[in-house]
A and B are shown apart, each in its own frame.
Chain A
C-alpha cells in the first residue's frame, strides 16, 4: 500500500502582523508514513505550523513542502480541527459531502461505518455526542485525504473513556492506511501512545528543544517512561 507523502518545513521567519517573531530558522522533516507529534506549551505555534502544512497560513519567509510541492499547491490534507468544527446546518453525510462532493452515498456510509458512525448519516451534528462529533471530524478528514492527516489537539475536552476510544480508532486508521500524520498536542501522553516521534517545541521564536523517538508497540509502563523522557526534553 502507498504510504503518505513526506513533509519538509524550512522556515526562515514568521510572525503575525504587529506581533513578535513566532518562528525563526525552524526546520522539520517528516518522512512519508511517519506519525509525528508536535508537543509544546500553548501559544508556541503548533497550530500555526499545522496550518502552514495545510496551505492555509501564508506570509512566511522560507518554504513548506508536501510531497515536494509547496503546501498550498499540494493535494489537500485531511485536517482535523481542535473543535470538531462541523457545519451544524448539514447532516452527518452532508458534512462529508461538503468537502468531498464526488463521494457516493455508499462510500460515505462505508466511511462512517469505518469510524464507528454507522446508521447516523441523516442526523444533525447537534444530535451526536462529543466523541461522535470528533469521529465525524476524522471521517471528514479521511474523505479528503487519507494519506496526510493533520490533527490539532484531537482529544482535548473529552472524557477519558472517549479519548481511549478515539485513540484506538486513530491507531487502527494508521495501521490500515499508513498515512503521514502531524499530531499537535500539549499532552506528552498523546505522543507517547500514538506517535513514532515527538518533536518538542519551546520558546519565542519557537525552536525545536529536542526529539524523542517513540517507534514500536508499547504497553502502559513503556508509555509512562516515554512521557517522562518527553517531559525531560521539554524541561
Chain B
C-alpha cells in the first residue's frame, strides 16, 4: 500500500503544540502561564521530591477498578437486555435514567450515603459508567446477524462454541467501543470525584495546587496524566484492537 505523503504531519503535531505553548508563555511572561520546559522541570521535581507516583498510583487503581467493574457488569447486563426482550422492556428505561444522571450527583449521593471512601468513589464511577456500557453492548447484541444463528443451529454447535465462535466475535467491536469511550470518561470522572472528596490522587493534588495558584504543578500533573492516557491508548488499546479485529482489514 502507498504511504500517505502527509504521514509526517502526524509526528509534527505534538511538537507544534509545544512550540505554540512555549511561544505563548514567552509572550505572556507570567507565572500563570509557565512554558513546557519549566513545566517539564517541575514535573521532574514532583516525581523525585513529592507525591507524583503515589498520586498516580491511587488514581490508576481507582480508575482501573471502576473501568474493569463497569465494563464487566455492563457487558453482562447488555448481553442480558439485548437477548431477553421482556427484561429490555422492563429495565431499558432504567438504563436511560442512568445515562442521564449527572456524574457529580452520583458522586455526591455516594459520598453522603457511604462517606468519603474509596469504595464510594469507585461505586460512583461504576454507577455512572455501567448504563453507557450496557446500552452499547445491548445495541451490539441486537445487531447480531441471525444468519449466523441459523448456521450454529444447522451445525448443532454447543452453547459454549456459539458463545465463543459466534456471539463474542460479533460483540468485540462493541466491547472495544465501550472500552475506548469508558477509558476516556472514567479518568475524567475519577479526577472530578477526587477533587470533590478524597485524601489523595491526581484530582486531589490538582485541587491543592489550585488553592495555591500553582500553575506549574497543575500543568505538570495534567501533562503527565495526558501522557499516561496516550500511552495506554497507543501501547495497549490500539494493539489489542488491531489484534482482535485483524480479520476486518489487512493490518496484520
A-side residues, CB < 8 A to B, are: 51, 54-56, 76-77, 79, 81, 83, 85, 87-90, 98-99, 101, 124, 126, 144
Contacts of A99 in B (CB 8 A): 155, 157
Interface residues in chain B, defined as those with a beta carbon under 8 Å from any beta carbon in chain A = 147-148, 150-151, 153-157, 161, 165-166, 169, 172, 246-248
Instruction: Chain A residues near B166: list those with CB within 8 A.
Output: 87
16 CB contacts below 8 A, A to B, read: A54-B154, A55-B154, A76-B154, A76-B156, A77-B154, A79-B151, A79-B155, A81-B147, A85-B148, A87-B169, A88-B247, A88-B248, A90-B165, A99-B155, A101-B161, A124-B247
Q: Which residue of B lies closest to A50 (CB)?
A: B154
Q: Which residues of B contact A55 (CB under 8 A)?
A: 154, 156
- A87 near B153: Cβ-Cβ < 8 Å: no
> Chain A: which residue is nearest B169 at the CB level?
A89
Q: Does B151 contact A85, Cβ atoms closer than 8 Å? A: yes
User: Residues of A contacting B161 with CB < 8 Å?
Assistant: 98, 101
Taking A81-B147, A87-B148, A87-B166 as given, write out 12 further A-B residue pairs in contact, using a Cβ cutoff of 8 Å, ordered by the A residue number. A51-B150, A55-B154, A76-B155, A77-B154, A79-B155, A83-B147, A88-B248, A90-B169, A98-B161, A101-B161, A124-B246, A126-B247
**A56 contacts which chain B residues (CB < 8 A)?**
150, 153-154
CB of A149, distance to nearest CB on chain B (Å): 12
Does A79 lie within 8 Å of B154, measured CB to CB? yes
Taking CB as reference atom, which chain B residue is nearest A97?
B165
Please give me the residue from chain B that is nearest to A140 by CB atom. Answer: B155
**CA A98 to CA B154, docked complex, whole Å:** 13
**Known contacts A76-B156, A89-B247; is A81 also within 8 Å of B151 by CB?**
yes
